[in-house]
Amino acid sequence: MVAIDVISFQQIIHNLIRNAAEALCDRPEPRINLWTGSEGQFAIIAVADNGPGIDPAALNRIFEPFFTTKPDQQSVLVKEGKAGESQPSLMLMQAA
């Protein structure tokens, strides 16, 4: 078992789903998929959508505080935290 900050974790998942929904505003058949699973000692949570994806040039910057690709400069702050005292959290993102 790993101790986490439940509020921060909920906020991260909420932000991922909200960003996916915002990316789908003009799509004819919007779709958001959420998967959970595990691999060895790691929990896996994946949020995917059929939106335009993240520009590969922006992928290296998405964890910078206040970085955004949104034209109105509304940004979601993603905090890197610790899942436990000795186990740092890890978030991987992949452009579709």
pLDDT in tens, 66-93: 788 877 644 444 444 444 444 444 555 4
Reference 23, options 52, 66, 56, 59; nearest CA is 52
pLDDT at 30 (0 to 100): 93
pLDDT at 92 (0 to 100): 53
Range of the domain at 11: 1-96
pLDDT at 43 (0 to 100): 83
**Global confidence as pTM:** 0.64
pLDDT in tens, 30-67: 999 999 998 888 888 888 999 888 888 888 888 888 78
Give me the residues paired with residue 33 across strands: 48
Domains identified in the chain, total number: 1
- Tokens 């900050």 correspond to what residue? 5
Angstrom distances, CA of residue 39 to CA of 3, 13, 16, 60: 18, 19, 21, 25
| Alpha carbons 16 and 27: distance in angstroms, whole number | 18
Cβ atoms of 55 and 95 within 8 Å: the answer is yes
CATH for 56: 3.30.565.10
